[in-house]
Structure formats: structure tokens, C-alpha cells
């Protein structure tokens, strides 16, 4: 059954994630042959660790890979991509807070657009472990490949580990795209803005225990995001947090940092 693993892992009573409509998956799968391009997205996900979920539509669902370091535009930089369970098509524009359970943390829609396979048979390419494709997103464009490593890559495991690699073309470059363009293409916000709009207090009362990440880099990042989200919610400039941790309440500064990128359309669920 499609999306079986996706559904098994989640409790939709407590998670705001889409529950996965099988009729919709079936409908989209049937429509696929008439389409020249299909949906793709990258969701930046701060859970127990920060990673980027790369998803491409195929047979009515989103084939998914978790890329710990995110995509690189530099063809010399191969990024580990762990193949994970298929996600529902509707998941592709999801952005929000998962308060607890599997994947608990914050999800940001980091990029979205369309993809076109560069091979005649996607299923055969996936089976072979070598899928070439072209992306047309806001941040990621041009020719790319996903190659299965067969577990030969350090940090990878078994046949779930693939590499995401940019091909050399006019869209390749040395700019670190995750640092250069860190925000959402849906809300234009950062993690703290997404948390502030949703449930900024979700992990606040619980110093430790219930937080998806407490130690290490992800834990430190989450702690700062929680603090900044609380500041946004309270109408204090979140910019004050790094320099003045005990900043007094003040009118919220004009948030020039959340200006919309030209071309980035606001989308609703």
C-alpha cells in the first residue's frame, strides 16, 4: 500500500502533518503520464539534527531523501542523501511545527518547483541507483544526479545511502546556497518566524525533556530559535537576543530581514 510507512510512523492526532490521502495519490499517479514536469521541494527540517528533505513527485507520492548537509551547487561536493519513506504529495508545501513524536521539530519549505527526469524510465533509473534530472526551483536549478552508493560512503548505511550531486552547467557554482538563501520560499521567514506563528511556547515550559533536540549543535540552535520566537511573539525585536539577552520589551523593529524575494510566491495549503 502506498504511504504505509509514512502513516505507521506518525500520529495524526498530535502531528499537524498531512495524513496522506490515498485517493489523491492514486489520482495524481494516473495523471502523471500527461505531465511534462512534476513537483519537487526541499524542506529544511530542524529535528534531532538539522537536515534538508529532498522530495520529487513520482507515481502520485513524493520520493524522499534526507540530506544532512543540504544540497550543494558545487559539482565537486557530493552530498550524502539517505533514502527515506515516500511522503504524500500534500506534504510538499507543508511548513510548520511538529510538537512531538516522529520528526518533532520545525519544518520550513526551503525550495520548491518542478523537476523533469533526464532518463526515459524513472523506475529503471531508481532500481539501477542512478537518476539524472533537471530542477527548476527558486534556489536549485539545472542538471543534478542522485546516485546510490551501495553503502560505500562513510556515514551511510546499506542501500539507503545515495549521493546528491550537481552537474556542471550554468546553474553550478561555489556559493553555499544553504547559507546564502536560508529562508522559506513559502512564508519568507526563518525557523523562529515559523515557530512564532505557530506555537512559540510548545517547548518553552519544558527546559529539556520534551524538546526534539537538546544537546549539540541542533540543541543550541533550537534553544536560540525558541528564545527568538518568544521575542517575536512578545513584540520585541529578535535581533536583541544575541547582543542583549535581557533586552527590555520594546516596539518590534521593522523586520527588514523578512522582505519577500522577487518571484517568491506566497502559497497556501
In this chain, which stretch among 43-51, 133-141, 148-156, 245-253 interacts with Mn ion, using CB under 5 A? 43-51
Determine which helix (DSSP H) or strand (DSSP E) holds 27, and give its type and residue range.
Answer: helix 22-31
Question: Among 10, 28, 44, 45, which residue interacts with Mn ion (rule: CB under 5 A)?
Answer: 45
Q: Report the b/e string of 71-106 with b at 16+ CB within 10 A.
A: bbbbbeebbbbbbbebbbbbbbbbbbbbbeeebbbb
Which stretch in 8-16, 38-46, 136-144, 244-252 sits in contact with Mn ion by CB under 5 A? 38-46
Q: Least distance from C-beta 177 to Mn ion, angstroms?
A: 18
Q: Smallest distance, Å, CB 248 to Mn ion?
A: 38
CB nearer to Mn ion: pick between 125 and 222: 222
Q: What is the distance, to the nearest Å, from the Cα of residue 174 to the centroid of all Cα atoms in its chain?
A: 21
Nearer to Mn ion, 45 or 236 (CB): 45
User: Closest CB to Mn ion among 155 and 245?
Assistant: 155
CB of 132 to Mn ion, least distance (A): 24
- Residues touching Mn ion: how many (CB under 5 A)? 2
Q: By CB under 5 A, tell whether 53 contacts Mn ion.
A: yes
Give me the phi and psi of 174, to 5 degrees please: -95, -5
Closest CA to 147 of 166, 126, 162: 162
Nearer to Mn ion, 53 or 95 (CB): 53
Instruction: For residues 23 and 125, give the distance between their C-alpha atoms in angstroms, rounded to a whole number.
Output: 26
Only one of the segments 39-47, 70-78, 215-223, 234-242 lies at the binding site for Mn ion (rule: CB under 5 A); that segment is 39-47
Instruction: Dump the DSSP string for 52-71.
Output: EEEEEEETTEEEEEEETT--
Applying CB under 5 A, which residues contact Mn ion?
Answer: 45, 53
Amino acid at each position: 500500500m502506498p504511504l504505509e510507512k509514512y502513516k505507521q510512523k506518525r500520529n495524526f492526532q498530535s502531528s499537524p502533518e498531512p495524513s496522506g490521502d490515498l485517493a489523491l495519490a492514486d489520482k495524481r499517479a494516473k495523471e502523471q503520464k500527461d505531465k511534462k514536469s512534476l513537483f519537487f521541494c526541499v524542506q529544511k527540517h530542524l529535528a534531532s539534527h538539522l537536515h534538508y528533505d529532498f522530495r520529487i513527485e513520482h507515481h502520485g507520492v513524493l520520493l524522499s531523501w534526507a540530506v544532512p548537509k543540504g544540497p550543494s551547487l558545487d559539482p565537486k561536493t557530493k552530498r550524502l542523501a539517505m533514502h527515506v519513506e515516500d511522503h504524500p504529495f500534500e506534504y510538499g508545501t507543508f511548513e510548520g511545527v511538529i510538537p512531538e513524536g516522529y520528526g518533532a521539530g520545525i519544518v520550513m519549505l526551503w525550495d520548491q518547483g518542478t523537476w523533469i527526469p533526464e532518463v526515459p524510465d524513472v523506475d529503471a533509473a531508481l532500481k539501477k541507483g542512478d537518476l539524472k534530472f533537471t530542477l527548476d526551483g527558486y534556489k536549485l536549478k539545472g542538471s543534478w544526479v542522485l546516485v546510490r552508493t551501495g553503502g560505500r560512503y562513510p556515514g551511510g548505511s546499506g542501500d539507503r545511502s545515495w549521493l546528491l550531486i550537481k552537474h556542471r552547467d550554468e546553474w553550478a557554482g561555489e556559493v553555499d546556497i544553504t547559507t546564502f538563501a536560508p529562508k522559506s520560499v513559502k512564508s519568507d521567514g526563518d525557523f523562529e518566524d515559523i515557530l512564532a506563528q505557530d506555537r512559540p511556547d510548545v517547548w518553552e515550559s519544558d527546559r529539556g525533556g520534551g524538546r526534539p533536540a537538546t544537546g549539540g549543535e541542533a540543541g543550541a540552535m533550537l534553544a536560540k530559535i525558541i528564545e527568538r520566537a518568544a521575542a517575536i511573539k512578545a513584540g520585541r525585536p529578535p535581533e536583541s537576543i544575541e547582543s542583549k539577552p535581557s533586552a527590555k520589551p520594546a516596539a518590534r523593529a521593522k523586520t527588514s530581514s523578512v522582505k519577500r524575494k522577487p518571484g517568491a510566491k506566497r502559497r497556501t495549503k
